[in-house]
Structure 1
């Protein structure tokens, strides 16, 4: 069940709308579906040792389960995660105020519908995701129908592609389980954003900034930036640095291991990189407004950062980055690896 802590969002409605919009995905037989699920679980299990040997990060056994889900399962999991992440912000905005039952019902359904639309759009695109906020140690989600859809669309070897996805996503699981403070650190950053909020006038000002972002969408703005104050942007810059590290590190691991265990990895990488840019005007517009273009930049910039540090200092020295929050790179250091080396190493 969804987490009920956020009364500002009707999470049940969000899940219902998101699941309907996401659809079921490609048509497969029961036997094909069972084969995909079994292969993804085996691929994730195999990837654990490969990632450990390549990175030197040793994740404790029997933590953060691997869960193969359909699109509706991904929507449910992310609604639960959003409820946890947004709880500090909702608490700050609502405080002790108790809106009327009508206002509460109408408002929560409106936001529930909006969140559901967002989840429905993303549920058809995400291949895998590590959920660091699932108690007690997180969980790895692999979205089977999307993986099948993409491997068919790209016309790549399905077995190679499934292991390729598992390598990337299992790296995220290892990052968080080998660095147990990391999930709490990210949740703490959300608390910092909540602490920076001023409830009075927030909604009016936020809606005004959203309107301006929509008008200026062609200039590359996104909605997250639109509703952020300068103080909040500083926090978001720190989060961007961390997310760039995580995504770039996973890409480096995936590319480093790929040639030795995935025969067709070069063909997969070439086709998948092209696909990441989005297809169609509507898809590209939504990606820009939702900040997904920025996420693509995180893969690219983070990978450049990780490769630069590893090439100069070696993987063992690079792993100092996982020792404490102070060693994480800033957004500026992602673009200047030598600055991070000078500061930390």
Structure 2
């Protein structure tokens, strides 16, 4: 970790865009210890076995037809930053394209690059695993990917005082549930992209498309909630202690980390988990898992913002 090199990369931000992405990536890596990916004997196969078992377990309980991405990577933190810079750039490009030109573009670029550096560095130290559907990719043929950030998984398992192998397996099941969702609903990526682009475009023009962001939040709540539901049914080991300890760790972070989590919307993600899980638990308890999977039939089957809090309204609508 070299904070001087990180600051120098941010100060040297250049180009014509609002963010110098190459400098942001360089600075984020300079500020972040990469961690080790010196795998123990059999560890690579253990990751692969976890993914295969998760695929079989999720297929069995959900009845969904899907496969896992061909790209499954065991990464260090620098690898994760490199893999996600392009995604951040694609998502932010809509905002950049509509942004007003600053009176002092060089200063604005440096500030923006520094902000993105802090974000990438913080996430790089905290993300455990990631299913990347490559939203807003240049071509629809780009491969989806599955990442595991090994040093973060090992650090979290140690901090939580849980078995590292069981914790790694739990993370694998969680990410494979997301692969199941996007695999079962080929339309989902386009739906999320459209709502994201609509919301960002109006935001960058000084207005706020409330419905676009409500729809995006509702869709992501379904994605996170359904993943939690499938994990509870598919995971082949004890998990309540893992979930409880991870939640306690999030809540027990220091004020600076809590601030970062709020700024990055990670508190919102936790709310999406809980709200979505409550929705699906009601559907399964009153119907079954097959009924819950109706959400992937098409965008019109997604619950609205109001239906998420009143799942009986959603059931009444889709079962007509």
TM-score (normalizing by structure 2) = 0.85
Which of residues 20, 45, 49 is equivalent to 2:30? 20
Q: CA deviation at 1:291?
A: 2.2
Q: For the Cα contact (< 8 Å) 1:88–1:190, is it kept in 2?
A: no
Give CA deviations for 1:31-61 in whole Å, capped at 9, x if unaligned: 43x65443223211221111111111111x4
Q: Equivalents in 2 of 1:184, 1:66: separation in Å?
A: 23
Q: For the Cα contact (< 8 Å) 1:63–1:177, is it kept in 2?
A: no
Q: CA deviation at 1:147?
A: 0.6
Q: Which residue of 1 aligns with 2:38?
A: 30
Which of residues 245, 268, 273 is equivalent to 1:299? 273
Q: Identify if the C-alpha distance between structure 1 residues 23 and 326 changes in structure 2 by more than 3 Å, giving closer, same or farther.
A: same
Which of residues 234, 240, 247 is equivalent to 1:266? 240
Matches within 5 A, 1:1-345: 7-25=17-35, 30-32=38-40, 35-59=42-66, 61=67, 63=69, 65-93=71-99, 104-133=105-134, 135-197=141-203, 199=205, 202=206, 229=207, 231-258=208-235, 261-262=236-237, 264-345=238-319
Q: CA deviation at 1:107?
A: 3.3
Q: Equivalents in 1 of 2:92, 2:157: separation in Å?
A: 34
Which has the higher mean CA deviation after the structures are superposed, 112-121 or 188-197? Answer: 188-197
Aligned length: 300
Q: Identify if the C-alpha distance between structure 1 residues 198 and 68 changes in structure 2 by more than 3 Å, giving closer, same or farther.
A: closer
Q: Equivalents in 2 of 1:138, 1:302: separation in Å?
A: 24
Q: Equivalents in 1 of 2:88, 2:232: separation in Å?
A: 31
Q: Which residue of 2 aligns with 1:220?
A: none
Q: Identify if the C-alpha distance between structure 1 residues 117 and 36 changes in structure 2 by more than 3 Å, giving closer, same or farther.
A: farther
Q: For the Cα contact (< 8 Å) 1:248–1:301, is it kept in 2?
A: yes
Q: Equivalents in 2 of 1:146, 1:38: separation in Å?
A: 19
Q: For the Cα contact (< 8 Å) 2:51–2:176, is it kept in 1?
A: yes
Secondary structure of 2:99's aligned partner: helix
Superposition CA RMSD, Å:
2.5
Name structure 2 gaps, 5 residues minimum: 1-14
TM-score (normalizing by structure 1) = 0.79
Which has the higher mean CA deviation after the structures are superposed, 266-275 or 47-56? Answer: 266-275
